[in-house]
Structure 1
């Protein structure tokens, strides 16, 4: 894993985009639903990403990985080998909704996250709760702006900012972002209650 990380790290392998986020899992772990982080390697690298190399999932916030495995299981593109949905198990729905709750809390705190990404991740969570499908951030933003016009100005500003280089991202009104993410959290809670069903 250390050799793989060194070979892929910027600038040893230059990236034309903001960067690469790579998670490597053991085949046995990936094949079973799990609420754990469970990775063998977590690598963030590239010109616009803070460098991160981790080989130990203990202590990592698991919600990032649960969501990413769900995205991969449902919509992953095969570069080599078997299709993603055959090798990566979809997390349990309740674990996934718990992960979404944690993701919204993380973005509401705002520490270390660009405002446009916080808003568009919130949009993606809402669209998932409504449709059961993962959607690209830009498409999710446009969908929520269309159905929930009260947030349209904020979302349009987030979309415009998201298209800029990460170093040139524009700030968004803090109070507006917080209010939007509070609303997103309520949508996730509604979905979680519906998933739990009658008691």
Structure 2
């Protein structure tokens, strides 16, 4: 992974010149839970000044698999302007959103208006707290932590997406739910597997489901195992109630 990230930074600097303020590894790499064959590589780039559309398209082409062969399941790269990234926001707000890789549907977007903002709000929170500096300024100097009400709204939307959305692996749905519960209880982002073990310990009614999700998460993405749909939905309904309780307590701290 290290040579890949080094080449990604080099190509970003070649296209962007002096503009990159920070290049950060986020997601599973930042949280210490990268699983080869399962995890994506998540990268956040902050530039100042903003890049024009032709340069954004050139960067996307330079980083796309297989022009830059991705050794992970996929690359999810989001690029922000420094002015936007430095302020808390509930918007998606990106200049470029690139998904590419052997197991990831290709996506290149320059328009955040139609994007579901919760993905980006949560990712910026993880980046601000735990982002690993690959180039430039450290994460806390480049990315603002979202305001707590906006973050809790993003968690609500995330749980809804993993309950009803299409294309999510069952084990990932469950472990994302565990991570949301641990965040509500501790105020900290935790790696999915650690979150799963924590919730399995404190909430034994869901232990069999979570243990099956953990076992599945150790397998490559293409070899993922199904989980009982009714059990997954029941668990995520319970997770949604925990998020709602946290949101209400945050609104009325008495």
TM-score (norm 2): 0.77
- Structure 1 position 41, deviation (Å): 0.7
- Structure 1 position 132, deviation (Å): 0.3
- Structure 1 position 167, deviation (Å): 1.1
Question: Structure 1: which 5+ residue stretches go unaligned?
Answer: none
Question: Structure 2: which 5+ residue stretches go unaligned?
Answer: 1-55
- Structure 1 position 101, deviation (Å): 0.3
Give the one of 73, 76, 79 matched to 1:24.
79
- Structure 1 position 168, deviation (Å): 1.1
- Structure 1 position 125, deviation (Å): 0.4
Q: What whole-Å deviation, never above 9, does each CA across 1:148-195 have from its counterpart, x for those lacking one?
A: 111111111111111111111111000000000000000000100110
- Structure 1 position 110, deviation (Å): 3.7
SS at match of 2:173: helix
Contact 1:35 / 1:95 at 8 angstroms: preserved in 2? yes
SS at match of 1:79: strand
Determine whether 1:85 maps to 2:85: no
SS at match of 1:80: strand
Q: What whole-Å deviation, never above 9, does each CA across 1:61-86 have from its counterpart, x for those lacking one?
A: 00000000000001111111111011
| Off by >4 Å, runs of 4+ in structure 1 | none
- Structure 1 position 111, deviation (Å): 1.1
Contact 1:125 / 1:184 at 8 angstroms: preserved in 2? yes
SS at match of 2:78: strand
Structure with the higher fraction of residues in strand conformation: 2
SS at match of 1:22: strand
Distance 1:149 1:77, change over 3 A: same
Q: What whole-Å deviation, never above 9, does each CA across 1:79-120 have from its counterpart, x for those lacking one?
A: 111110111000010000000000000000041111111111
SS at match of 2:108: strand
After the TM superposition, which of the residue ranges 7-16 and 97-106 deviates more from structure 2? Answer: 7-16
| CA distance in structure 1 between the aligned counterparts of 2:139 and 2:93, rounded to whole angstroms | 17
Give the one of 95, 119, 124 matched to 1:40.
95
2:171 aligned partner: 116
| CA distance in structure 2 between the aligned counterparts of 1:35 and 1:169, rounded to whole angstroms | 33
Contact 1:110 / 1:118 at 8 angstroms: preserved in 2? no
After the TM superposition, which of the residue ranges 9-18 and 23-32 deviates more from structure 2? Answer: 9-18
- Structure 1 position 15, deviation (Å): 1.4
Say what the alpha-carbon RMSD is for the aligned residues. Answer: 1.0
Determine whether 1:152 maps to 2:207: yes
- Structure 1 position 123, deviation (Å): 0.5
